[in-house]
Protein backbone atom coordinates (compact mmCIF):
# COMPACT_ATOMS: atom_id res chain seq x y z
CA UNK A 1 0.00 0.00 0.00
CA UNK A 2 1.43 3.32 -1.10
CA UNK A 3 -0.27 6.58 -0.18
CA UNK A 4 0.63 10.04 -1.46
CA UNK A 5 -0.48 13.22 0.26
CA UNK A 6 -0.27 16.35 -1.88
CA UNK A 7 0.17 19.57 0.09
CA UNK A 8 2.44 19.54 3.13
CA UNK A 9 0.60 22.33 4.94
CA UNK A 10 -1.47 21.92 8.08
CA UNK A 11 -4.01 19.48 6.68
CA UNK A 12 -1.60 17.49 4.49
CA UNK A 13 1.14 17.12 7.08
CA UNK A 14 -1.28 16.15 9.85
CA UNK A 15 -2.95 13.65 7.50
CA UNK A 16 0.45 12.12 6.69
CA UNK A 17 1.31 11.99 10.37
CA UNK A 18 -1.92 10.13 11.18
CA UNK A 19 -1.30 7.69 8.28
CA UNK A 20 2.19 6.98 9.60
CA UNK A 21 1.10 6.67 13.24
CA UNK A 22 -1.72 4.29 12.29
CA UNK A 23 0.62 2.42 9.91
CA UNK A 24 -1.95 2.50 7.13
CA UNK A 25 0.68 2.13 4.38
CA UNK A 26 4.13 0.70 3.78
CA UNK A 27 5.04 3.90 2.05
CA UNK A 28 3.73 7.45 2.36
CA UNK A 29 4.96 10.32 0.15
CA UNK A 30 4.34 13.95 1.04
CA UNK A 31 4.47 16.45 -1.86
CA UNK A 32 4.52 20.24 -1.89
CA UNK A 33 5.80 23.00 -4.16
CA UNK A 34 7.69 24.59 -1.27
CA UNK A 35 11.28 23.40 -1.28
CA UNK A 36 12.40 21.72 1.93
CA UNK A 37 9.00 21.75 3.65
CA UNK A 38 7.74 18.27 2.64
CA UNK A 39 11.27 16.88 3.02
CA UNK A 40 11.72 18.40 6.48
CA UNK A 41 8.29 17.44 7.80
CA UNK A 42 8.58 13.91 6.40
CA UNK A 43 12.04 13.45 7.92
CA UNK A 44 10.72 14.65 11.27
CA UNK A 45 7.84 12.15 11.01
CA UNK A 46 10.22 9.36 9.98
CA UNK A 47 12.30 10.11 13.07
CA UNK A 48 9.16 9.63 15.17
CA UNK A 49 8.58 6.10 13.86
CA UNK A 50 10.98 4.32 16.28
CA UNK A 51 8.98 5.80 19.16
CA UNK A 52 5.59 5.34 17.52
CA UNK A 53 6.56 1.80 16.48
CA UNK A 54 5.49 2.38 12.89
CA UNK A 55 7.07 0.75 9.85
CA UNK A 56 5.56 3.20 7.39
CA UNK A 57 8.32 4.76 5.26
CA UNK A 58 7.59 8.45 4.92
CA UNK A 59 9.43 10.78 2.57
CA UNK A 60 8.94 14.28 1.21
CA UNK A 61 9.47 15.64 -2.29
CA UNK A 62 8.77 18.48 -4.74
CA UNK A 63 8.39 16.17 -7.74
CA UNK A 64 5.97 13.41 -8.68
CA UNK A 65 8.24 10.60 -9.79
CA UNK A 66 8.54 9.43 -6.16
CA UNK A 67 4.74 9.15 -5.99
CA UNK A 68 4.57 6.64 -8.88
CA UNK A 69 2.03 3.83 -8.56
CA UNK A 70 0.33 5.19 -5.47
CA UNK A 71 -2.82 3.31 -4.45
CA UNK A 72 -4.39 6.33 -2.80
CA UNK A 73 -3.68 10.02 -3.37
CA UNK A 74 -5.02 12.60 -0.92
CA UNK A 75 -5.20 16.11 -2.38
CA UNK A 76 -4.91 18.90 0.19
CA UNK A 77 -2.95 21.36 -1.97
CA UNK A 78 -4.39 24.83 -2.13
CA UNK A 79 -4.88 27.99 -0.22
CA UNK A 80 -6.74 27.91 3.11
CA UNK A 81 -9.45 30.38 4.07
CA UNK A 82 -8.53 33.63 5.76
CA UNK A 83 -10.90 35.48 8.16
CA UNK A 84 -13.86 36.93 6.29
CA UNK A 85 -13.19 34.73 3.25
CA UNK A 86 -15.79 32.18 2.17
CA UNK A 87 -14.76 28.81 0.78
CA UNK A 88 -16.07 30.06 -2.54
CA UNK A 89 -13.58 32.93 -2.67
CA UNK A 90 -10.95 30.28 -2.97
CA UNK A 91 -12.48 28.83 -6.10
CA UNK A 92 -10.42 30.20 -8.97
CA UNK A 93 -7.05 29.82 -7.26
CA UNK A 94 -7.70 26.32 -6.04
CA UNK A 95 -9.17 25.09 -9.36
CA UNK A 96 -5.86 26.00 -10.98
CA UNK A 97 -3.88 24.21 -8.24
CA UNK A 98 -6.05 21.06 -8.14
CA UNK A 99 -6.03 20.84 -11.95
CA UNK A 100 -2.22 20.92 -12.07
CA UNK A 101 -1.87 18.43 -9.23
CA UNK A 102 -4.43 16.02 -10.75
CA UNK A 103 -2.63 16.03 -14.12
CA UNK A 104 0.58 14.96 -12.38
CA UNK A 105 -1.21 12.31 -10.33
CA UNK A 106 -2.86 10.78 -13.42
CA UNK A 107 0.49 10.56 -15.19
CA UNK A 108 2.25 8.82 -12.30
CA UNK A 109 -0.56 6.88 -10.58
CA UNK A 110 -3.20 6.06 -13.18
CA UNK A 111 -4.93 3.51 -10.95
CA UNK A 112 -5.07 5.56 -7.76
CA UNK A 113 -8.11 6.42 -5.68
CA UNK A 114 -8.31 10.21 -5.25
CA UNK A 115 -9.55 11.65 -1.97
CA UNK A 116 -10.03 15.39 -2.33
CA UNK A 117 -9.82 17.71 0.69
CA UNK A 118 -9.03 21.11 -0.88
CA UNK A 119 -11.83 23.70 -0.69
CA UNK A 120 -14.35 24.60 -1.96
CA UNK A 121 -14.63 20.87 -1.55
CA UNK A 122 -17.41 19.71 -3.85
CA UNK A 123 -16.13 21.90 -6.70
CA UNK A 124 -12.57 20.63 -6.19
CA UNK A 125 -13.73 17.00 -6.28
CA UNK A 126 -15.54 17.84 -9.54
CA UNK A 127 -12.32 19.40 -10.91
CA UNK A 128 -10.30 16.29 -10.00
CA UNK A 129 -12.89 14.03 -11.64
CA UNK A 130 -13.05 15.97 -14.90
CA UNK A 131 -9.29 16.44 -15.18
CA UNK A 132 -8.39 12.85 -14.24
CA UNK A 133 -11.17 11.25 -16.31
CA UNK A 134 -11.10 8.51 -13.66
CA UNK A 135 -14.33 6.63 -12.95
CA UNK A 136 -16.36 8.52 -10.30
CA UNK A 137 -15.98 5.51 -8.01
CA UNK A 138 -12.30 6.49 -7.60
CA UNK A 139 -12.75 10.23 -6.99
CA UNK A 140 -14.52 11.48 -3.87
CA UNK A 141 -14.27 14.22 -1.32
CA UNK A 142 -13.97 14.63 2.43
CA UNK A 143 -16.81 16.72 3.81
CA UNK A 144 -19.60 15.10 5.77
CA UNK A 145 -17.35 13.17 8.14
CA UNK A 146 -15.87 16.44 9.36
CA UNK A 147 -19.27 18.14 9.49
CA UNK A 148 -20.83 15.23 11.43
CA UNK A 149 -17.79 15.02 13.72
CA UNK A 150 -18.33 18.67 14.64
CA UNK A 151 -22.06 18.12 15.10
CA UNK A 152 -21.45 15.00 17.24
CA UNK A 153 -18.84 16.79 19.35
CA UNK A 154 -21.26 19.67 20.08
CA UNK A 155 -24.10 17.27 20.98
CA UNK A 156 -21.75 15.38 23.33
CA UNK A 157 -20.90 18.65 25.11
CA UNK A 158 -24.56 19.63 25.37
CA UNK A 159 -25.71 16.27 26.76
CA UNK A 160 -22.48 15.48 28.64
CA UNK A 161 -22.22 12.06 27.00
CA UNK A 162 -19.50 10.18 25.11
CA UNK A 163 -18.98 11.27 21.51
CA UNK A 164 -18.72 7.54 20.69
CA UNK A 165 -22.42 7.03 21.32
CA UNK A 166 -23.58 9.68 18.88
CA UNK A 167 -24.21 8.77 15.27
CA UNK A 168 -25.35 11.35 12.80
CA UNK A 169 -25.78 12.19 9.15
CA UNK A 170 -25.22 15.41 7.25
CA UNK A 171 -26.14 15.76 3.57
CA UNK A 172 -25.35 18.38 0.96
CA UNK A 173 -22.42 20.57 0.04
CA UNK A 174 -19.53 21.14 2.44
CA UNK A 175 -20.28 24.65 3.49
CA UNK A 176 -22.88 26.89 4.91
CA UNK A 177 -25.65 25.09 2.98
CA UNK A 178 -24.96 21.67 4.51
CA UNK A 179 -28.08 19.80 5.60
CA UNK A 180 -27.82 18.14 9.03
CA UNK A 181 -30.62 15.63 9.61
CA UNK A 182 -31.63 15.69 13.31
CA UNK A 183 -34.14 12.88 12.81
CA UNK A 184 -31.26 10.60 11.75
CA UNK A 185 -29.19 11.58 14.80
CA UNK A 186 -29.04 8.90 17.50
CA UNK A 187 -27.55 9.06 20.98
CA UNK A 188 -26.92 5.49 22.11
CA UNK A 189 -29.83 4.45 19.91
CA UNK A 190 -32.17 7.16 21.27
CA UNK A 191 -33.32 9.76 18.71
CA UNK A 192 -31.81 13.17 19.49
CA UNK A 193 -35.25 14.72 19.04
CA UNK A 194 -36.33 12.92 22.25
CA UNK A 195 -33.42 14.27 24.28
CA UNK A 196 -33.21 17.92 23.31
CA UNK A 197 -35.81 20.59 22.59
CA UNK A 198 -36.12 21.88 19.04
CA UNK A 199 -34.40 25.21 19.76
CA UNK A 200 -31.27 23.58 21.25
CA UNK A 201 -31.01 21.24 18.25
CA UNK A 202 -31.40 24.24 15.98
CA UNK A 203 -28.59 26.09 17.80
CA UNK A 204 -26.28 23.06 17.48
CA UNK A 205 -27.11 22.71 13.78
CA UNK A 206 -26.27 26.38 13.24
CA UNK A 207 -22.96 26.06 15.10
CA UNK A 208 -22.15 23.01 12.94
CA UNK A 209 -22.92 24.92 9.76
CA UNK A 210 -20.50 27.65 10.80
CA UNK A 211 -18.01 25.24 12.41
CA UNK A 212 -15.21 25.86 9.92
CA UNK A 213 -15.60 29.64 10.21
CA UNK A 214 -15.50 29.46 14.01
CA UNK A 215 -12.03 27.90 13.84
CA UNK A 216 -10.83 30.33 11.14
CA UNK A 217 -11.87 33.28 13.31
CA UNK A 218 -9.98 31.90 16.30
CA UNK A 219 -6.81 30.90 14.44
CA UNK A 220 -6.71 34.04 12.28
CA UNK A 221 -3.88 32.62 10.15
CA UNK A 222 -5.36 29.45 8.72
CA UNK A 223 -8.23 27.00 8.87
CA UNK A 224 -9.02 23.82 10.79
CA UNK A 225 -6.77 20.80 10.37
CA UNK A 226 -6.88 18.42 13.35
CA UNK A 227 -10.48 17.30 12.83
CA UNK A 228 -10.07 17.74 9.06
CA UNK A 229 -7.19 15.27 8.95
CA UNK A 230 -8.93 12.82 11.32
CA UNK A 231 -11.92 12.78 8.97
CA UNK A 232 -9.69 12.32 5.91
CA UNK A 233 -7.81 9.45 7.48
CA UNK A 234 -11.08 7.70 8.38
CA UNK A 235 -11.75 7.57 4.62
CA UNK A 236 -8.19 6.43 3.85
CA UNK A 237 -8.48 3.65 6.43
CA UNK A 238 -11.83 2.51 5.03
CA UNK A 239 -10.19 2.07 1.60
CA UNK A 240 -6.95 0.50 2.86
CA UNK A 241 -8.76 -2.05 5.05
CA UNK A 242 -11.71 -2.52 2.67
CA UNK A 243 -13.92 -1.72 5.64
CA UNK A 244 -17.23 -1.10 3.84
CA UNK A 245 -17.80 1.85 6.16
CA UNK A 246 -20.93 3.91 5.58
CA UNK A 247 -19.86 7.51 5.85
CA UNK A 248 -21.12 10.86 4.56
CA UNK A 249 -18.75 11.99 1.79
CA UNK A 250 -18.89 14.11 -1.32
CA UNK A 251 -19.71 11.77 -4.22
CA UNK A 252 -20.50 12.29 -7.90
CA UNK A 253 -24.25 12.04 -8.43
CA UNK A 254 -25.69 10.64 -11.64
CA UNK A 255 -29.41 10.72 -10.94
CA UNK A 256 -29.28 9.95 -7.22
CA UNK A 257 -31.53 12.29 -5.21
CA UNK A 258 -32.61 13.71 -8.57
CA UNK A 259 -29.24 15.42 -9.25
CA UNK A 260 -26.85 15.00 -12.14
CA UNK A 261 -23.24 15.94 -12.85
CA UNK A 262 -22.67 17.38 -9.38
CA UNK A 263 -20.69 16.43 -6.27
CA UNK A 264 -22.72 16.45 -3.07
CA UNK A 265 -22.41 15.03 0.43
CA UNK A 266 -24.36 11.77 0.67
CA UNK A 267 -23.97 8.52 2.64
CA UNK A 268 -21.69 6.15 0.73
CA UNK A 269 -20.10 2.76 1.31
CA UNK A 270 -16.30 2.97 1.20
CA UNK A 271 -14.13 -0.04 0.46
CA UNK A 272 -11.04 -1.02 -1.50
CA UNK A 273 -12.67 0.06 -4.78
CA UNK A 274 -13.53 3.52 -3.42
CA UNK A 275 -17.18 4.55 -3.56
CA UNK A 276 -18.86 1.14 -3.62
CA UNK A 277 -22.45 2.31 -3.14
CA UNK A 278 -24.42 5.52 -2.78
CA UNK A 279 -27.37 5.35 -0.39
CA UNK A 280 -30.54 7.25 -1.19
CA UNK A 281 -32.75 8.26 1.73
CA UNK A 282 -36.40 9.18 1.86
CA UNK A 283 -36.41 12.90 2.64
CA UNK A 284 -39.17 15.16 3.91
CA UNK A 285 -40.22 18.07 1.70
CA UNK A 286 -38.27 20.46 3.92
CA UNK A 287 -35.11 18.30 3.73
CA UNK A 288 -35.51 17.96 -0.04
CA UNK A 289 -35.73 21.74 -0.38
CA UNK A 290 -32.62 22.24 1.78
CA UNK A 291 -30.70 19.68 -0.30
CA UNK A 292 -31.80 21.31 -3.55
CA UNK A 293 -30.57 24.67 -2.23
CA UNK A 294 -27.25 23.09 -1.32
CA UNK A 295 -26.96 21.45 -4.77
CA UNK A 296 -27.70 24.82 -6.40
CA UNK A 297 -24.86 26.43 -4.42
CA UNK A 298 -22.44 23.71 -5.60
CA UNK A 299 -23.71 23.93 -9.21
CA UNK A 300 -23.19 27.67 -9.20
CA UNK A 301 -19.51 27.09 -8.44
CA UNK A 302 -19.18 24.23 -10.90
CA UNK A 303 -20.61 26.43 -13.65
CA UNK A 304 -17.77 28.90 -13.02
CA UNK A 305 -15.11 26.24 -13.52
CA UNK A 306 -13.66 26.37 -17.02
CA UNK A 307 -11.73 23.19 -17.69
N1 LIG B 1 1.24 21.52 -5.47
C2 LIG B 1 1.53 21.06 -4.23
N3 LIG B 1 1.31 21.77 -3.12
C4 LIG B 1 0.77 22.99 -3.25
C5 LIG B 1 0.44 23.53 -4.51
C6 LIG B 1 0.71 22.75 -5.66
N7 LIG B 1 0.41 23.18 -6.88
N8 LIG B 1 -0.06 24.78 -4.31
C9 LIG B 1 -0.07 25.00 -2.99
N10 LIG B 1 0.43 23.93 -2.34
C11 LIG B 1 0.66 23.73 -0.92
C12 LIG B 1 1.16 24.98 -0.21
O13 LIG B 1 2.53 25.22 -0.48
C14 LIG B 1 0.88 24.63 1.24
O15 LIG B 1 1.99 24.01 1.86
O16 LIG B 1 -0.55 23.40 -0.25
C17 LIG B 1 -0.27 23.62 1.14
C18 LIG B 1 -1.53 24.11 1.80
O19 LIG B 1 -1.27 24.15 3.16
P20 LIG B 1 -1.89 25.25 4.14
O21 LIG B 1 -1.71 26.59 3.55
O22 LIG B 1 -1.37 24.97 5.51
O23 LIG B 1 -3.45 24.93 4.09
P24 LIG B 1 -4.22 23.76 4.88
O25 LIG B 1 -4.73 24.30 6.15
O26 LIG B 1 -3.39 22.55 4.88
O27 LIG B 1 -5.49 23.57 3.93
C28 LIG B 1 -5.35 22.97 2.65
O29 LIG B 1 -7.50 21.90 2.75
O30 LIG B 1 -9.25 22.06 4.28
C31 LIG B 1 -8.74 22.52 3.06
O32 LIG B 1 -9.61 24.79 2.91
C33 LIG B 1 -8.45 24.02 3.08
O34 LIG B 1 -8.18 24.21 0.69
C35 LIG B 1 -7.48 24.14 1.92
C36 LIG B 1 -6.72 22.81 2.00
Residue 84: pLDDT band with limits 50, 70, 90: confident
What CATH number is associated with residue 183? 3.90.110.10
Predicted confidence at residue 83, as pLDDT, reads 75
First to last CA, the chain: 31
* 143 neighbors 126 (Cβ within 8 angstroms): no
Domain termination residue (choose one: 108, 141, 174): 141
Tens digit of pLDDT for each residue in 268-291?
999 999 999 999 999 999 989 989
For atom 2 of ligand 1, the residue with the nearest CA is 32
Does residue 119 sit in the same domain as residue 131?
yes
pTM value is: 0.96
Q: Reply yes or no on whether 202 is catalytic.
A: no
DSSP of 235-273, one letter per residue? Answer: HHHHHHTT--EEEEEEEEEESGGG-EEEEEEEEEEEETT
Structural domain includes residue 173 = yes
Q: How many domains does the chain have?
A: 2
253 lines ligand 1 (CB under 6 A): no
Q: Does ligand 1 lie within 6 Å of residue 299's CB atom?
A: no
Whether 12 has a pLDDT exceeding 80, the answer reads yes
Residue 122 DSSP symbol: H
Q: Are residues 261 and 195 in the same domain?
A: yes
β partners of residue 171? 179
Residues 87 and 188 placed together within one structural domain of the fold = no
Q: Is 145 within 8 Å of 253 (Cβ atoms)? A: no
Cβ-Cβ contacts under 8 Å for 292 (sequence gap 6 or more): none
Task: Point out the ligand 1 atom lying closest to the alpha carbon of residue 224.
Answer: 25
* Cα 116 from Cα 122, distance rounded (Å): 9
Are 15 and 121 contained in the same domain? yes
Are 41 and 130 in a shared domain? yes
Domain containing residue 164? 144-302
Least confident among 46-55, 105-114, 131-140, 296-305: 296-305
At which of 83, 118, 141 does a domain end?
141
What number does the ligand 1 atom closest to the CA of 124 have? 34
Question: Is position 168 within any domain?
Answer: yes
In a domain, 307, yes or no: no
Q: Is 180 in the pocket of ligand 1 (CB under 6 A)?
A: no
Question: Is there a single domain that holds both residue 137 and residue 150?
Answer: no
Is the Cβ atom of 229 under 6 angstroms away from ligand 1?
no
Amino acid sequence: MKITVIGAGNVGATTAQRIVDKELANECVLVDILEGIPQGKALDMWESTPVEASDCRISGTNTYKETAKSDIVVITAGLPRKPGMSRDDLLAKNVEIVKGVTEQVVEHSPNAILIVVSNPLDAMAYTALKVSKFPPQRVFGMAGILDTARYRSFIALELNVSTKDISALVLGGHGDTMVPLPRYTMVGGIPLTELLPQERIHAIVERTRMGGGEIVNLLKTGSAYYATSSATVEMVEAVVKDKKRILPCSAYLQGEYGFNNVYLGVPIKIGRKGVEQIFELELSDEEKAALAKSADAVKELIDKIKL
